[in-house]
Structure 1
Amino acid sequence: MEDDYYSLTSILADNHKLPCTFTLEVPGLGYLEGGSEQNLQAGAKVELPLWMARVLAQNEFATFTVPQPFTQRVRANLNASAPAVKLSSLVGAGGWWYRFGTAIAKIWDSGDSLLAMLREAFISRLPALQNLSAHHASMDHSSIPEGTAGTGEAFREGMEADERELFNIGQESGRIVKKWHDSSWARR
């Protein structure tokens, strides 16, 4: 996963919202709360994009709690059955759950436990991802009736953005192998 200044996916992952609590009064930022106050009061709770929350937390203007996509409840669900968890619904459609979690772990004191959770989730979900991409690569999609849900469709719908990228790479690799295999049999 890239962490590049010019990476569009890194920019989009940094825009996920993080609930923050301000530790002191900040002049001129009252508009962040949506009120008519000029200043943002100490103790104010505001959801901010990760890129802004990171700077505020590093400079001790604000603190943040673990966001909902990484709570103990999510961890318990991942431990029970990682492929059954819809990661896409945790961070929104097209969201980067792994990248968001990695960015939070970099600025959070207990980041090692979060990184361990992300790693275990990825390792647990990878076989289902690989099997599903291989299955889709070998299928003739023109013969599937409209609206029919095939094997693993619930998992596919729950994939987050990095998993969808791996899924597409797996599908394309499967198509290339199938094309090579078919052409080698045709030459015989």
Structure 2
Amino acid sequence: MDNDYYSLTAVLADNHKLACTFSQDVPGMGHMDGSTEPDLRAGAKAELPMWLASSLCLNELTEFVVPPPFGARVKAALNASAPSVRLSSLVGQGGWWYRFGAGVAEIWDRGDDLLGTLLRAFIKRLPALQDLAAHHASSDVSVPESGPGTGEAFREGMDADERELFHIGQTSGSMVKSWYDTVWGRRR
């Protein structure tokens, strides 16, 4: 996952909102929380895009609580059955759950715990992603449902990065199948 300045995916992931509480008065920024006051007062709450929230948090102007997509309920669901969790619906706007989580971990004092959760979720979801991509690469794309977290239900719940990996796996699987059919077709 690149965080390149010119990366469109990085821009989209950094646009997710983070609920922040201002810890200091900020003159001339009253419009940020939707009030008519000219200044932001300490204790004011505002939903800020990740790119702005991270800068303000690192400069100790704001504080935040961990967003619900990375809270205890989601963590428990991931521990129970990671492939059955619909990551795409947790953060909205394209479902950049991993990237948003990495951004939150970067500015949170317990970020290592969150990074561990992200990594464990990815590792537990990867076999289902690989199986589904290989299945879709074959000529028969009908995938039988064999339980939660498999098949089309899993595909619909994929994070944007997982969808990209799925597409890569599907494309490479199709290329291998095409090569195999051409090579073995000539030998018959």
**2-structure distance, mates of 1:155, 1:93:** 18
Residue 139, structure 1, aligned to residue 139, structure 2: yes
**2-structure distance, mates of 1:139, 1:108:** 46
Structure 2, unaligned runs of 5 or more? 146-150
Corresponding residue of 2:79: 79
User: Structure 1, residues 141-177: CA drift from partner, whole Å, max 9, x if none?
Assistant: 5xx6xxxx85311100000100000000000011001
**2-structure distance, mates of 1:128, 1:118:** 16
Query: Which segment drifts farther, 3-12 or 123-132?
Result: 3-12
Count of residues in correspondence between the two structures: 182
User: Structure 1, residues 62-121: CA drift from partner, whole Å, max 9, x if none?
Assistant: 001101110010000000000000000001151211111111111111000000000000
Q: Which amino acid aligns with 2:126?
A: L
Residue 104, structure 1, aligned to residue 109, structure 2: no
Q: Which amino acid aligns with 1:157?
A: E
Query: SS state of the match for residue 41, structure 1?
Result: coil
**2-structure distance, mates of 1:93, 1:31:** 24
**2-structure distance, mates of 1:130, 1:176:** 15
Query: SS state of the match for residue 159, structure 1?
Result: coil
**TM-score normalised to the size of structure 2?**
0.93
- Whether the aligned pair in 1 keeps the contact of 2:83 and 2:125 (CA below 8 Å) is yes
Q: Which amino acid aligns with 2:118?
A: L
**1-structure distance, mates of 2:185, 2:138:** 18
Identity %, equivalent residues: 64
Corresponding residue of 2:183: 184
Report the alpha carbon displacement of residue 36 of structure 1 after superposing the two structures with TM: 1.0
- Whether the aligned pair in 1 keeps the contact of 2:16 and 2:93 (CA below 8 Å) is no
Deviation beyond 2 Å, 4+ runs, structure 1: none
Query: SS state of the match for residue 42, structure 2?
Result: coil
Report the alpha carbon displacement of residue 187 of structure 1 after superposing the two structures with TM: 1.0
**TM-score normalised to the size of structure 1?**
0.93
Corresponding residue of 2:148: none
**2-structure distance, mates of 1:162, 1:137:** 18
Query: SS state of the match for residue 63, structure 2?
Result: strand
User: Structure 1, residues 4-57: CA drift from partner, whole Å, max 9, x if none?
Assistant: 111111111111000100001111111111121111111011110001001111
**1-structure distance, mates of 2:137, 2:94:** 22
Residue 25, structure 1, aligned to residue 48, structure 2: no
